[in-house]
Amino acid sequence: MSIDLILSERFGFRSFRQGQREIIEDVLDGNDVFAMLPTGSGKSICYQLPAYLLEGIVVVVSPLISLMEDQVEQLRRQGEKRVCTFHSGMPYHVRMKILRDLTRYKILYVSPETLQTDTLSGTLSRMKVALFVVDEAHCISQWGHEFRTDYLKLGEVCNRIGRPPILALTATATVNVRNDIIKLLNLDRPEMHIYSVDRPNIAFQSEIAETTNEKMDILIRYVQTLKGPGIIYTSSRMVTETITEALKRNGVEKTAYYHGGMENDDRLLTQKQFIYDELDVICCTNAFGMGINKPDIRFIIHYHFPSNIESYLQEIGRAGRDGEESLALMLYHEDDDFIPERLITAELPTKKDINHFSVMVDVDKPDRTLFEQSITSLNLSETAERFMHFHVEKFFREEERDFQTWKNQLVEFIEKRIKEKRERIRYMKKWILSEECKRESILGAFSEKLVTRPLNCCHVCGLSLEPYKSSKEKSPRPVIKSWEEELAIIFHQVNVDV
DNA sequence: CGTGGTTAGCTTAAGCTAACCACGGTGCGTTAAT
């Protein structure tokens, strides 16, 4: 069966979008593939379609449980029942049943953490795995080194389950991040499919405030005049709540906040309200956004800047998926520099911590239990603690281990990581403050040149804010949905209520 | 930097103020205690 036939019969599309055919052909040839496609361009087809042609199961590593659930649900709606996910939120007996029947499935969605467990990787190692997919592959580089170290072990796990061909998918990765992913996943001469990260319908605007109060005033003024829906990003949970209150006091009623400290149910509810247009504005930390496929987001405002330019691109990339004019507004005040600096140092142990550690353990007769206990008594941040556990595990896996060498390398590595992270913050700040074209310089960060400049480019090139303002007389937007879509929404909600 | 929580120290001893300090963001999984 040809891939065009499967595309129309299984997925209901007449033709491939940019990049999809080439990527699928390389995957079917059994090559390792690295693909960078802009958000919303149909990345999942690149492994879902080959699943019908390859012998064995396709294992997809995904960063969020909600993302995995969404994908499974969507495929089931399309009529494909041979897909599943496997995670801690599922009842024990359901998980066991899936394990028993795993050979019957075509696609399995799983987190990097669960994939490490012997129950799952053991079962997979005894069957044929056709393809190993890493979705949102930039997470390997962005989260793997400290926050979710299981991302660093994906290469190993892939070997354990028979080293099938690997497909790494992402929407944003600088050349450095690409190389990091290739190295950590152990990709073998991968076929590279890199497409432009430019989003011509997103215009850039920045405002530099003299004081924090002024920044808040500017924010409120913009939100009052801009056409929604929109997202406001900040770097602090508390600030999301402060901004929400301030906006409500100033006439922007349909506003809510969202951050990782909230109850799961509240997060889900707020997210749904935003997607179904019950909210105009959402004030959030970087917890919000991954997997949000709302097509008509009109503005993204940064009240604080993210700590690197890929995160920034990810965040603004959530606007204008429908192709309509959208605005990315950056608000800056010099006090903002403090937060990202604090965050990067808090996620790693200091040299002093490492010295403390080496005093506590017996250097000549290394004992695993004592090592682990000593980490706990260092009183590190959760992320720094995770980092230490990962490196201790690595130490005990070495046959000829030497504590001093390990320690020196660790300290060196920490210094290198902090230096890199500072450099990335510095680059982000340079972008904010530079007097050059915002679009050209952001493309430059991805080693790309601007080909055509859109009419509304950025405030440096000259920008009219008129297209982004809300019109006084609000005509109700016609909502045209196919009956399939309507049904899907109804079923979705039924599932949620039960 | 800004903020919120804690504590020392003052005082017609229970509640106030001021000084000080810690902290700021992303999620998976498992387990212990009811």
- DSSP E strands in A32-165: the ranges are 33-36, 57-61, 83-85, 107-110, 129-134
All CATH 3.40.50.300 domain ranges of chain A, comma separated, are 3-194, 202-340+434-468
Question: Any atom of strand B under 7 A from CB of A347?
Answer: yes
Contact A175, A447 (CB under 8 A): yes
Residue A162 CA to residue A54 CA, distance in Å, equals 15
Q: Name the DSSP letter for residue A16.
A: P
**Orientation angle between helical segments A20-28 and A3-11, nearest 10 degrees:** 110
Question: Any atom of strand B under 7 A from CB of A259?
Answer: yes
pLDDT in tens, chain A (498 residues): 789 999 999 999 999 999 999 999 999 999 999 999 987 778 999 999 999 999 999 999 999 999 999 999 999 999 999 999 999 999 999 999 999 999 999 999 999 999 999 999 999 999 999 999 999 999 999 999 999 999 999 999 999 999 999 999 999 999 999 999 999 999 999 999 999 999 999 999 999 998 888 999 999 999 999 998 999 999 999 999 999 999 999 999 999 999 998 988 899 999 999 999 999 999 999 999 998 889 999 999 999 999 999 999 999 999 999 999 999 999 999 989 999 999 999 999 999 899 989 999 988 889 999 999 999 888 888 899 999 999 999 999 998 899 999 999 999 999 999 999 999 999 999 999 999 999 999 999 999 999 999 999 999 999 999 999 987 544 444 444 555 555 454 444 433 332
Structure tokens at A130: 């056709």
Question: Any atom of strand B under 7 A from CB of A345?
Answer: no
CB neighbour burial string for A140-155, b if at least 16 within 10 angstroms, e if fewer: bbbbbbbebbbbbbbb
Question: Any atom of strand B under 7 A from CB of A342?
Answer: yes
- A47 CB-contact burial (10 Å; exposed 0-12 / middle 13-18 / buried 19+): buried
Residue A492 CA to residue A498 CA, distance in Å, equals 10
If you write DSSP's letter for every residue of A356-392 in order, what string do you get?
HHHHHS-SSS--HHHHHHHHHTT---HHHHHHHHHHH
Nucleotide nearest to A242 (CA to C1'): B3
Residue A63 CA to residue A66 CA, distance in Å, equals 9
- A190 CB-contact burial (10 Å; exposed 0-12 / middle 13-18 / buried 19+): buried
Positions 288-317 of A with beta carbon below 7 A from strand B are 307
Interatomic CA–C1' length for residue A118 and nucleotide B19, angstroms: 54
Interatomic CA–C1' length for residue A265 and nucleotide B27, angstroms: 16
Give bridge partners of residue A350 from the DSSP assignment.
Answer: none
Positions 120-149 of A with beta carbon below 7 A from strand B are 142-143, 146-148
Structure tokens at A186: 């152990």
Tell the CATH topology of A202-340+434-468: Rossmann fold (3.40.50)
* Coil, helix or strand at residue A104: helix
CB neighbours of A307 closer than 8 A, spacing ≥ 6? A340, A343, A344, A421, A424, A425, A428
Residue A330 CA to residue A232 CA, distance in Å, equals 10
Interatomic CA–C1' length for residue A197 and nucleotide B19, angstroms: 51
Positions 432-461 of A with beta carbon below 7 A from strand B are none
List % helix, strand, coil for chain A (3-state, nearest 5). Answer: 50, 15, 40
Positions 68-97 of A with beta carbon below 7 A from strand B are 87-89
Nucleotide nearest to A90 (CA to C1'): B29
H/E run at residue A189: none
Please state the pTM of the whole predicted model: 0.91
Contact A148, A184 (CB under 8 A): no
Nucleotide nearest to A338 (CA to C1'): B1
Q: How far is CA A429 from the centre of its chain?
A: 21
Q: Give the model's pLDDT for residue A60.
A: 98
Nucleotide nearest to A306 (CA to C1'): B25
Residue A284 CA to residue A256 CA, distance in Å, equals 9
Interatomic CA–C1' length for residue A159 and nucleotide B29, angstroms: 23
* Coil, helix or strand at residue A84: strand
- Using CA atoms, how far residue A224 sits from A244, A468, A469, in Å, is 13, 12, 9
Interatomic CA–C1' length for residue A40 and nucleotide B28, angstroms: 25
* Coil, helix or strand at residue A289: coil
Interatomic CA–C1' length for residue A109 and nucleotide B12, angstroms: 71
Q: Hey, what CATH class is A3-194 in?
A: alpha beta
Nearest protein residue, CA measured to C1' of B24: A236
Beta strands across the sheet bearing A299-302: A202-208, A326-332, A299-302, A230-233, A281-284, A255-258
Question: Any atom of strand B under 7 A from CB of A343?
Answer: yes
Alpha-helical (H) ranges within A277-381 are 309-316, 338-346, 351-360, 368-376
Q: How many CA atoms lie within 13 A of A332 on its CB side?
A: 17
If you write DSSP's letter for every residue of A41-107 in order, what string do you get?
S--THHHHTGGGTSSSEEEEE-S-HHHHHHHHHHHHHTT--SEEE--TTS-HHHHHHHHHTGGG-SE
Q: Give the model's pLDDT for residue A475.
A: 44
Residues in chain A: 498
Residue A183 CA to residue A141 CA, distance in Å, equals 10
Q: Name the DSSP letter for residue A158.
A: H
Structure tokens at A368: 């695993």
Interatomic CA–C1' length for residue A343 and nucleotide B3, angstroms: 17
Structure tokens at A95: 């998980």
Of A70, A68, A28, A32, give the one whose Cα is nearest residue A49.
A28
* Coil, helix or strand at residue A319: coil
Could you say which nucleotides of strand B lie within 7 A of any protein CB atom? 1-4, 24-30
Q: Give the model's pLDDT for residue A495.
A: 39
Interatomic CA–C1' length for residue A116 and nucleotide B21, angstroms: 40
Nucleotide nearest to A117 (CA to C1'): B29
Question: Any atom of strand B under 7 A from CB of A350?
Answer: no
If you write DSSP's letter for every residue of A386-433 in order, what string do you get?
HHHHHHHHHHHH-SS--HHHHHHHHHHHHHHHHHHHHHHHHHHHHHHH
Residue A36 CA to residue A181 CA, distance in Å, equals 12
Interatomic CA–C1' length for residue A343 and nucleotide B23, angstroms: 10
Residue with tokens 């024990």: A92
Asked whether the bond before A229 is cis by omega within 30 degrees of 0, the reply is yes
Q: Give the model's pLDDT for residue A379.
A: 84
Interatomic CA–C1' length for residue A241 and nucleotide B17, angstroms: 28
Interatomic CA–C1' length for residue A353 and nucleotide B8, angstroms: 30
Nucleotide nearest to A238 (CA to C1'): B24
Q: Give the model's pLDDT for residue A482.
A: 54
Structure tokens at A489: 């929404």
